[in-house]
Structure 1
């Protein structure tokens, strides 16, 4: 059995805690990765960008959760940075990279989806 949640929303600082609340049944790592991917949209495309957030859980014996955040800009690709201790930003994707089994980007003609998969 596969479970799936989908949210259509505007990427705003207020949206992140609302989505985390909707995902309260999921683990901390899932909520954190969703927040980081949503924050990347705000930081790189702007406050109020329309997004679709999907959280797809597989059967318990498969033990994975897939997170997808789709935005309307196929050109603004995420970049994994190495932030120094003194830098105030640039750690979001590094955090996703550390928590997830794998992550990537699917580019469409008029959108892109940044995704990651976590073990349950």
Structure 2
């Protein structure tokens, strides 16, 4: 069973929820990758984790989703269509996945961004916060995902 919940007229306010086998609902947010959407996406992800009973996980997931969507804005292009999905995998872990339409623009962890660098820390931050992360390439898209553990 699928239910749609609309929180407003903007495209990044549309939320689709589906019942997961674990009994915890997944969250899917289709949006356009624009800076003005970041705060709403962070808030939705954090609130969803809180509904699962995990506020600490919500803080981590909100930070990671912000970094992953920002990567799309910077490296794929502002306004690219994106899908954010947060699902419970069990065992105290959640999976956060961001799908965009650019299979060739694969993120790479940079080991040493200089102290004055304005970019280059996003994937390193995700790597530090996540139990693991990766990239799945599809024919016309890619998904960057991370597995997050409850603190």
Is the pair's TM-score, using the shorter chain for normalization, greater than 0.5?
Answer: yes
With the length of structure 1 as denominator, give the TM-score of the two structures. Answer: 0.94
Q: Offset of 1:24 from its aligned partner?
A: 2.9
- Residue 41 in 1 paired to residue 72 in 2? yes
Aligned with 1:79 (options 108, 119, 125): 108
| Contact 1:3/1:58, CA 8 A, preserved across alignment | no
- Give the structure 1 partner of residue 92 of structure 2: 63
| Contact 1:97/1:103, CA 8 A, preserved across alignment | yes
CA–CA separation in structure 2 for the residues paired with 1:66 and 1:36: 15
CA RMSD of aligned residues (A): 1.0
Which portions of structure 1, spanning 4 or more consecutive aligned residues, are displaced by more than 6 angstroms? none
Greater fraction helix: 2
Gaps of 5+ in 2: 1-21, 50-57
CA–CA separation in structure 2 for the residues paired with 1:101 and 1:21: 22
Q: Offset of 1:58 from its aligned partner?
A: 3.1
- Deviation by residue 1:35-63 (Cα, 9 ceiling, x = unmatched): 0000000000111000000011234xx10
The within-5 A match list for 1:75-114 is: 75-81=104-110, 82-114=112-144
Q: 1:5 is paired with a residue of what secondary structure?
A: strand
With the length of structure 2 as denominator, give the TM-score of the two structures. Answer: 0.75
**Rg comparison, structure with higher value:** 2
After alignment, is 82-91 or 31-40 more displaced? 82-91
- Structure with more contact order per residue of length (Cα contacts < 8 Å, sep ≥ 6): 1
